[in-house]
Amino acid sequence: MRKTLLFGPVKSRRLRRSLGIEMVPRKVCTMDCIYCEVGKTILHTSERKDYYTWDLIEKSILEAKEKEEIFDVFTFTGSGEPTLNIHFEKAVELSKKIINKPIAVLTNSTLLYIESIRKALAKVDIVLPSLDAVKEGSFRKINRALPEFKPEEIVKNLKKLREEMQGEMWLEVLIVEGINDNKEDLEALKKAIEEINPHKVQLNTVVRPAAYSIAKPVSFKKLQEIAKFWGNKVEIIVNKERLDKIIAIKQTLEKEKLEEEVINYVKRRPATLEELSQAFVLDEKAFQMLLDELLSQGKIQTTIHENKVYYIAN
């Protein structure tokens, strides 16, 4: 049985030394985001209940009070959506009352239609809600929220919360390659951001191990373009060097996988450039470069048959 719900403090770019409190076990959530660093959602639910008991929550908050000097921010976060715990409001109230450090809450914004949750959030120092897409199709692809949650409702409730808030709202938007990085999605998000009017917009991409392999990062340059398009409230919260390295590794792995598949293909039967580029659905020019590289490495060779160049395994 768990003795405490506290974890950390962890050093965070946004919240400095953050002591976390977990309100639900791994992984209870209203969403199943493809980029989630906690893993795939195990309990996909919107049911609010005591995922952890009030006794354990209270004990953990009292313990955090004792540790005040070792952290900068006390953060409700962890292995799922914290507002799903039925004691969330009471936990925020107690934390605000006894902890003399800023209180922050990370939320996926789905339960903001519940007035008592908004009231509790309105009193914390920093709310970090996420909003990755407002177009229905992209919202479903990235966040895989339960069907009852609609992006336009989430935007409406974020706007309401912002108007009721005493503290700050730092809205996090995570961009996934090929899903919400297109013109239409970015324009729709820009409009939603203007409506919500958060204090800051924190722009992120997939830099941590994701729950689903389809979640891929966009480049730092792309994030810069988006930041410019959305205006001066936006800050990129990704480290450029780290992101560049991740993209380089991913590209190498993808290229290595493709090379292996091409070699296996020509091992089975000789093929022309045209056949190969059709089989792998790739542009002939780009494919020629890959074949030239494999030729120079001696991994494949060519043979002429009826005036046509065929690639064969070495």
Chain residues binding ligand SF4 by CB under 6 A are 29, 31-33, 36, 38, 41, 80-81, 108
Minimum distance between the CB of residue 135 and ligand SF4, rounded to whole angstroms?
Answer: 17
Q: Would you say 41 or 85 has its CB closer to ligand SF4?
A: 41
Q: Would you say 206 or 262 has its CB closer to ligand SF4?
A: 206
Minimum distance between the CB of residue 81 and ligand SF4, rounded to whole angstroms?
Answer: 5
| Residue in 238, 240, 185, 247 with CA at minimum distance from that of residue 217 | 247
Expressed in angstroms, the distance from the first to the final Cα of the chain is: 60
3-state secondary structure of 89: helix
Q: Would you say 186 or 215 has its CB closer to ligand SF4?
A: 215
User: What whole-number distance in Å separates Cα of residue 85 and Cα of residue 111?
Assistant: 11
Minimum distance between the CB of residue 41 and ligand SF4, rounded to whole angstroms?
Answer: 6
Q: What are phi and psi of 71, to 5 degrees?
A: -135, 160
Minimum distance between the CB of residue 30 and ligand SF4, rounded to whole angstroms?
Answer: 7
User: What whole-number distance in Å separates Cα of residue 284 and Cα of residue 287?
Assistant: 5
Cβ neighbours for 86, distance < 8 A, ≥ 6 positions apart: 48, 49, 50
Q: Would you say 60 or 204 has its CB closer to ligand SF4?
A: 204
* Upper half-sphere CA count for residue 83 (Cβ side, 13 Å): 24
Minimum distance between the CB of residue 304 and ligand SF4, rounded to whole angstroms?
Answer: 55
Q: Would you say 29 or 192 has its CB closer to ligand SF4?
A: 29
Minimum distance between the CB of residue 204 and ligand SF4, rounded to whole angstroms?
Answer: 11
Longest dimension (CA), the chain: 85
| Residue in 31, 194, 177 with CA at minimum distance from that of residue 111 | 31
Q: Would you say 43 or 94 has its CB closer to ligand SF4?
A: 43
